[in-house]
Amino acid sequence: MNSSSYLPPQLPAQLPCIAAARRFDASRHVPFLIGAEQVGWIRQRDLPLLHRWPDVLRDDGGAISLLEHFDTVELRSAALGSVIGALAAQGHIPGWRDETYAIRNRFDAPPLAFIERAASRFFGTMTYAAHLNGIVRQAATQPLIWIARRSLGKQTDPGMLDNLVGGGIGWGYGVFETLIKECWEESGIPPELARTAKPGGTLHVLQELPEGTQAEQIFVFDLDVPADFAPANQDGEVGEHRLARIDEVRGWIAAGEMTVDASLAMLDALLRAELLSAQDCPGLEALYRLPD
């Protein structure tokens, strides 16, 4: 199949989502260390805020380190929690979620500490998410794609277009367990259907955002959705669902109307389905590897 005939006109040389996924200037940040291990990035401009806690954090002149005597998960979590609570109260950490994230550089690594989800971008720690492309197969033509529009009340990317399902993986949840949970909450997909989702690629984002740094690993899944199934949001986080053609989806990605995460997950699916080629999305191949 010749995919180029389905591409929107004047496709940019590099898609905005791919450029954004590596829009990070290390010179404007310093590493955040626990022991000898770098676990995050902190903006240079935020360093004065952290100097108020010399009993918790040390500025080494090129890195911020958690003091060594916090040598257990419990002690590290409590020490960071006191800092995070104060920063949030002062408005430096917006969007409190009451969700626990683990600080760990690999999803299967033991946690070094636990923090509030909203603080992960302030400290630039690695986070993990599961995204699902909802696909309606058609016998004679290209498949259709279910797209969600994020609620205007969402903490991040309100009102933007999104995958049918996508969510962060909190502490205590596995990847597939999170996917099944989010399938129901975001689109009313029952567990028996959600369990038929197939894994796709794993992508890595490192980008500067107004609230800090997003360092995230995205696990992509595809789900064949029956033609007679209509998504129904359950948790108020989705404003609407729409069933779209491939060319429409590509146009939204090219125009930057979809979130970065959702765009990357959709490109992964289209690339695997040979509905576009690597030449259509230059730079995407680098996102399958951890950033340097």
Q: How far apart are CA 258 and CA 212, in angstroms?
A: 20
Q: How far apart are CA 65 and CA 33, in angstroms?
A: 5
Say which CATH architecture domain 127-288 belongs to. Alpha-Beta Complex (3.90)
26-125 and 127-288 in the same fold: no
Q: How far apart are CA 268 and CA 282, in angstroms?
A: 12
pTM: 0.93
Give the residue carrying structure tokens 């590493």. Answer: 31
Residue spans per domain, the chain: 26-125, 127-288
Say which CATH architecture domain 26-125 belongs to. 2-Layer Sandwich (3.30)
- Amino acid in the structure at residue 251: G
* pLDDT tens, the chain, 292 aa long: 333 333 444 445 689 999 999 999 999 999 999 999 999 999 999 999 999 999 999 999 899 999 999 999 999 999 999 999 999 999 999 999 999 999 999 999 999 999 999 999 999 999 999 999 999 998 888 999 999 999 988 878 899 999 999 999 999 999 999 999 999 999 999 999 999 999 999 999 999 999 999 999 999 999 999 999 999 999 988 999 999 999 999 999 999 999 999 999 999 999 999 999 999 999 999 999 999 7
User: Is residue 182 classed as helix, strand or coil in its secondary structure?
Assistant: helix
- Provide φ and ψ at 253, rounded to 5°: -65, -45
